[in-house]
């Protein structure tokens, strides 16, 4: 028989053996386990683990930009064995919190509003440039390409039936003075989305109609609202007859026309300007990951992916036309040449200043037009 002391010693030895076995067993029984990618995204043999953040400051025409990127990441992984891309969607507020807590992606998709926040973290892009030069310029800081455009949207005017005179464009009616309209029209215009300057689309459009004079219908009640509020007013209020909207609004309105919940509308697609552009930037400081990130950006900006953008109601940045249906084809053609845009790293205070200047231009202030400089 063993004494109580001997029993306690034996139990201790057995417990020690079990602990040692649990520590060493994986090394001998599952040697491949140690070869799996580490949670921090260490490089695999011949491949890379990339974390991609999509900051939701822009809306697709239909569907989701984030979901579109997730599908492209899966496709890219299949074609490039050993490369793994995990996508994460963030609001602007969530982006700020992630950065404040020390978290960083390897690459990031973003638009106006997020640019000034992520700018200090970006690395210069040195990969192939497959996009239109005027759009690429909006991703530069000085002479350095810090972000690359990969998809875009645009602006349009929509008018309800009965508002327009014969052979009159929506733009011409939108720019009439309040006295000419006899207060018959309430606009559903907006100074732009939360991070955009939509009125620059109205002021820049390459139309024969001249943007001159003030309109009494353009007052703050109709302008100082969100893009969705402008759309909601246009849909629900009889006196709201003209909408300045984006590709998202166009998709919503076309769906309403198709299901019979709205009478047929007249559209004018605005050319000459768009600031609804999504960019991709490299954040990782690791050279192998930077190379993998550049290759993914080249994939996104290549023709195979650009041709898929109609699936979410967005437009290409390579200068080619991919739409076949009439309305979207016209929209795409309006955006196809000579676009002005806003640098994606523009500060929020400057964006607010641009909105105010646009409003002043519509009210006939020539000094405001001069202050907008090259944006007009």
Mean pLDDT, residues 359-376 taken together: 81
Each domain of the chain, given as residue ranges in start order, spans 49-153+275-334, 155-273+346-375
130-153 average pLDDT score: 97
CA atoms of 301 and 121, how far apart (whole Å): 22
CA 128/CA 301 separation, integer angstroms: 9
pLDDT (0 to 100) of residue 179: 42
Q: pLDDT tens digits, residue range 73-90?
A: 999 999 999 999 999 999
Q: Which of 89-103, 144-158, 183-197, 255-269 has the lowest mean pLDDT?
A: 183-197
Reported as a single tens digit per residue, the pLDDT across 42-70 is 344 456 899 999 999 888 999 999 999 99
- Please give the Cα distance from 35 to 44 (Å, whole number): 8
pLDDT at 372: 87
| Chain segment 80-129, per-residue pLDDT in tens | 999 999 999 999 999 999 999 999 999 999 999 999 999 999 999 999 98
Mean pLDDT for the stretch of residues 251-266: 92
**Mean pLDDT over each residue of the chain, to the nearest integer:** 81
What are 308-312's contacts with CB under 8 Å, separation 24+? 308/68, 308/72, 309/68, 309/151, 311/63, 311/68, 312/60, 312/61, 312/62, 312/63, 312/64, 312/65, 312/67, 312/68
Between CA 325 and CA 237 the distance in angstroms is: 29
The predicted structure's pLDDT at residue 118: 97
Of 339, 329, 320, 341, nearest to 206 by C-alpha is: 339
- Write out the E strands in the chain: 48-55, 83-90, 107-110, 140-141, 144-145, 148-152, 155-159, 186-188, 240-246, 266-269, 277-282
pLDDT attached to residue 211: 36
CATH 3.40.50 given to domain 155-273+346-375? no
Q: With CA atoms as reference, report the closest residue to 197 among 155, 165, 148.
A: 155
Kindly state the tokens that stand for 367.
Answer: 């000094």
CB atoms within 10 A of CB 39: 7
**Which candidate, 344, 360, 188, places its Cα nearest to that of 275?**
344
pLDDT (tens digit per residue) in 186-226: 555 554 457 788 888 878 875 433 333 334 445 555 555 67
Q: Domain 49-153+275-334 in CATH: superfamily?
A: Periplasmic binding protein-like II (3.40.190.10)
Give the tens place of pLDDT for each residue, 162-185. Answer: 666 555 566 666 655 444 444 454
Q: What is the average per-residue pLDDT within 322-346?
A: 94
Confidence (pLDDT) at 160 = 82
**Residue with more model confidence, 154 or 223:** 154
- What's the DSSP call for residue 43? P
In whole angstroms, give the CA distance from residue 83 to residue 47.
5
């Amino acid at each position: 028989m063993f004494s109580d002391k001997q029993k306690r010693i034996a139990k201790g030895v057995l417990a020690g053996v079990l602990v040692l076995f649990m520590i060493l067993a994986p090394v001998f029984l599952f040697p491949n386990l140690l070869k799996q990618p580490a949670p921090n995204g260490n490089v695999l043999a011949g491949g890379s683990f990339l974390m991609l953040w999509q900051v939701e400051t822009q809306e697709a025409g239909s569907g989701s930009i984030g979901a579109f990127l997730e599908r492209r990441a899966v496709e890219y992984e299949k074609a490039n064995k050993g490369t793994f891309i995990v996508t994460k969607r963030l609001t602007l507020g969530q982006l700020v919190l992630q950065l404040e807590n020390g978290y960083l992606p390897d690459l990031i998709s973003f638009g106006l509003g997020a640019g000034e926040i992520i700018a200090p973290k970006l690395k210069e892009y040195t990969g192939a440039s497959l996009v239109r030069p005027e759009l690429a310029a909006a991703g530069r800081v000085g002479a350095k390409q810090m972000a690359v455009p990969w998809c875009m949207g645009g602006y349009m005017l929509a008018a309800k039936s009965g508002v327009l005179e014969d052979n009159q464009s929506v733009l011409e009616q939108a720019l009439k003075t309040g006295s000419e309209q006899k207060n018959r029209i309430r606009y559903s215009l907006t100074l732009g989305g939360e991070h955009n300057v939509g009125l620059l689309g109205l002021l820049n459009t390459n139309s024969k109609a001249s943007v001159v004079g003030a309109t009494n219908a353009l007052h703050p009640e109709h302008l100082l609202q969100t893009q969705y509020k402008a759309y909601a007013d246009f849909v629900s209020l009889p006196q709201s007859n003209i909408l300045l909207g984006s590709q998202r609004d166009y998709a919503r309105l076309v769906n309403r026309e198709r299901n019979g919940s709205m009478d047929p509308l007249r559209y004018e697609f605005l050319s000459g300007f768009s600031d609804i552009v999504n960019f991709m930037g490299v954040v990782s400081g690791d050279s192998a990951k930077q190379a993998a990130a550049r290759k993914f950006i080249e994939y996104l900006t290549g023709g195979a992916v650009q041709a898929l953008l109609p699936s979410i109601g967005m437009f290409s940045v390579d200068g080619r036309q991919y739409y076949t249906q009439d309305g979207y084809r016209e929209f795409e053609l309006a955006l196809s040449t000579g676009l002005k845009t806003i640098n994606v790293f523009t500060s929020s205070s400057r964006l607010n200043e641009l909105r105010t200047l646009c409003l002043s231009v519509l009210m006939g202030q020539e000094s405001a037009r001069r202050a907008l400089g090259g944006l007009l």
